[in-house]
């Protein structure tokens, strides 16, 4: 293996992974000759996409966790332009890669991986860490065939009994309570994801899968899935208790560990709890220049990205009956999908407003206020306060969030009907796209504190 460059005592080798914001390189530690992996993150990309808090949270979380089935971060090095994260080198690749060529695992191998997954998740939960994005792509295999959990980018610290509200994760693996955008417990949500993974390991396919996000949402909410004929009764019994759509009655990790199928050949992992104070100085130092950059440099504002659970809410098949409920005194809000650029979408909002005798006042490049063409007094029945915010999903895909705080419901309905018609003149985004494997987290949610 050739080494083109180095950072400190680490000689960088070939690229073994690459994403939108980072590359992962196989690296050798020249002090001891051991292989490690280094994730290289571009600071400008972090700043541009407002991902500093998410990246820092992932690094901090992984430095605090010491378990044989969790990828460990050894140190963090910051330069003027890059962040280098030195972590375990896990040579076996992703579990999803193995599944792509073996299709399904036998009973003993699936149980081994599941046992290691449950142990690592239990370890995290006992320390108040909830992963929230468990899936085969985030489970790595080492040279000995042992599983290691990685990618804590969507993880969160949570006190026992506290609830979370941010909808995140990967659609096919998320729990029903997460999709509904209601408060949920991180522990029960992670358990559900583990159940989906176990089903996939044994069956060779996902229990919940559909090209339409709305259909996928309905299947998950109702726990609609079918076991293949080769899944045994003991396996079915355990999976059924995990994939319980009611989080209150869903099986817990201690109960999973006591399950007869789980207990077969079960050997708890031996790990030494790290009692020393974890030094996070390198993490803070690596991000300090970004903090200074944010203080002195005004980053151009771009619309927030939307997440997959909000995409569900604007599916072509969605029943919009809630829009027509007689709730004149309550704030109304609806989200519509647009297969147009942000500027084209603003133009369609203006056209829809004109269509129902409303005028548009631009607040900025992505938000407008809508009001009657003739000025009305507040006591008038026709007084109207309506706003529309356009959120970019991709260069030619947007979401329009329409909010009405006061005013006549009839106008609100007519405007929404007109705009919906204009936005759906071409095929809707949801009819062509498959449920994304990765979720782009709403930027505001990255900054949200959930404790």
Catalytic residues: 133
CA distance 139 to 24: 16
DSSP letters along 83-149, please? EEEEEE--TT-BHHHHHHHH-S--HHHHHHHHHHHHHHHHHHHHTTEE-S--SGGGEEE-TTS-EEE
| Orientation angle between helical segments 107-126 and 186-203, nearest 10 degrees | 170
Helix (H, G, I), strand (E, B) or coil at 18: strand
Is 156 within 8 Å of 450 (Cβ atoms)?
Answer: yes
Is 69 within 8 Å of 134 (Cβ atoms)?
Answer: no
Q: Strand pairing partners for 141?
A: 147
Using alpha carbons, select from 165, 168, 225 the residue that is nearest to residue 195.
225
For the chain, the residue count is 451
Is 63 within 8 Å of 278 (Cβ atoms)?
Answer: yes
CA distance 231 to 198: 11
Q: Strand pairing partners for 129?
A: 157
CA distance 383 to 414: 15
Residue 367 assigned to a binding site? no
Is 133 within 8 Å of 147 (Cβ atoms)?
Answer: no
DSSP secondary-structure letter at 362?
E
DSSP secondary-structure letter at 289?
H
CA distance 311 to 316: 10
CA distance 81 to 354: 49
Residues annotated in the binding site, as ranges? 48
Indicate the annotated binding residues for ATP.
Answer: 48
């Amino acid at each position: 293996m050739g080494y083109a460059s180095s950072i400190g005592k680490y000689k960088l080798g070939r690229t073994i992974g690459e994403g939108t914001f980072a590359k992962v390189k196989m690296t050798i530690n020249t002090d001891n000759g051991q292989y490690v992996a280094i994730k290289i993150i571009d600071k400008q990309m972090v700043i541009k996409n407002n991902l500093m808090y998410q990246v820092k949270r992932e690094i901090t979380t992984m430095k605090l966790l010491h378990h044989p089935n969790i990828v460990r971060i050894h140190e963090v090095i910051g330069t003027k332009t890059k962040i280098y994260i030195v972590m375990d080198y896990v040579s076996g690749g992703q579990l999803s890669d193995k599944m792509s060529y073996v299709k399904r695992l036998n009973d003993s191998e699936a149980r081994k991986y599941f046992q290691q997954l449950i142990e690592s998740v239990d370890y995290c939960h006992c320390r108040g860490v909830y992963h929230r994005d468990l899936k085969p792509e985030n489970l790595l295999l080492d040279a000995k065939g042992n599983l290691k959990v990685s990618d804590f980018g969507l993880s969160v610290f949570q006190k026992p009994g506290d609830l979370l509200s941010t909808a995140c994760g990967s659609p096919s693996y998320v729990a029903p309570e997460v999709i509904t955008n209601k408060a949920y417990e991180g522990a029960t949500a992670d358990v559900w994801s583990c159940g989906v993974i176990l089903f996939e390991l044994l069956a060779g396919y996902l229990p919940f899968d559909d090209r339409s996000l709305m259909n996928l949402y309905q299947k998950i909410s109702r726990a609609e899935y079918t076991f293949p004929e080769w899944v045994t009764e003991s396996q079915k019994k355990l999976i059924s208790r995990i994939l319980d759509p009611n989080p209150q009655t869903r099986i817990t990790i201690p109960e999973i560990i006591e399950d007869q199928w789980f207990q077969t050949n079960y050997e708890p992992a031996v790990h030494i709890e790290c009692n020393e104070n974890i030094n996070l100085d390198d993490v803070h130092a690596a991000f300090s220049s970004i903090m200074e950059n944010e203080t002195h440099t005004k980053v151009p504002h771009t619309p927030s990205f939307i997440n997959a659970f909000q995409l569900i809410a604007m599916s072509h098949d969605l029943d919009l009956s809630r829009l027509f409920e007689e709730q004149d005194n309550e704030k109304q809000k609806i989200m519509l999908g647009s297969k147009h650029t942000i500027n084209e979408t603003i133009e369609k909002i203006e056209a829809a407003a004109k269509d129902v005798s409303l005028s548009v006042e631009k607040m900025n490049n992505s938000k407008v206020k809508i009001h009657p063409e003739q000025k009305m007094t507040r006591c008038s029945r026709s007084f109207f306060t309506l706003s529309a915010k356009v959120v970019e999903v991709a260069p030619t895909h947007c979401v329009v969030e329409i909010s009405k705080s006061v005013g006549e419901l009839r106008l609100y309905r007519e405007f929404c009907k007109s705009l919906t018609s204009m936005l759906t003149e071409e095929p809707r985004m949801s009819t062509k796209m498959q449920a994304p494997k990765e979720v782009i987290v709403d930027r505001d949610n990255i900054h949200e504190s959930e404790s």
